[in-house]
Structure 1
């Protein structure tokens, strides 16, 4: 295996499957099986999940809601998604711990860095919910921050496309995919795969990011084994 410890970032939208909103249990179960295949290979895995399939703070702000209030609502949405993923992982026989940046004792543990690392060392998958616990920060930034805190080897961003393109491939058929790209190029060209804060955190801490298609079964394991899947940002 190429990596010892991985931080996997899943968008909330990826949990929708073919639905227009909400959670597709079949899609979540597919992710759980893919994650288990990497877990079974002996790799330590932490996961950050977004909440855009349920509520998106930026969209609510545009319709007149207070941004901080909207962001807190979005954080609660991420916890719902994390619980769905936790349930799916435990259904396939993987022990997990869910930690939240906002205290919810009846549902999950509070986020404590040393406890999270201890869980990983004991062979449990740790799922981080509620983003950073602060408004004005995305779950992409939360993923970068948690990855740095737990000393992950790489951030893997699982999306519905197979990497970073020169333009949105769903809108521009002439868009071409990058196999590898630098942080400076991503920021300079305004390629909005993750927000600038997330990229900058990884750049400053020399933490590589791989953007790949999580919906294709087996891709996660192939990346863990060192295959060149998706786009590497370093």
Structure 2
């Protein structure tokens, strides 16, 4: 990357804060405007997918636009991120995610923090987070290999879809999960459910790393034939 660590961290912080502000803020707005939960989820999903597309496009060249500790961990395991950079990325992502919740609450005149009471637990939800994060990381790794210019759209469209095809509405991000525990609104998750979500998100990310690594590994050489 052509930017020093401080600028990369600033980009990660800005992107993660705006992502969470969009997730939480659009959820609050949708809940204010309609009593139809399906319509509210649609609004939430479209806003999140749209802002991801924009943020990855403009901040990706600076920091890689991870905005997600699971993605940063995968990049570290691929040796695309230094160990000290991984720790800094994760801390900034988590703190910026919390700031994003504060921003959303402040915009809508809500208390700065309100612990969520939304129950999100159980095998179906946990498995959904494995699937959601596996798909996200798989798309990032394969998209970076074959369609780098389209990667912002690939990620934005995937997350929009994953809101709908997963039982958990696709958190797929430990920093966002933590931040969403601090809002007792449409997008919240009660704090006691956060550790399990994060564990299964990381599991999905690691599974994607292994699978895509195998899937896209080129052959070292063609077999040599001898004789007639």
Greater share of residues in helix: 2
- Structure number with greater CO (CA < 8 Å, separation at least 6) is 2
Name the TM-score, length of structure 2 as normaliser.
0.32
- Greater share of residues in strand: 1
Q: What TM-score does the superposition give when structure 1 sets the normalisation length?
A: 0.31
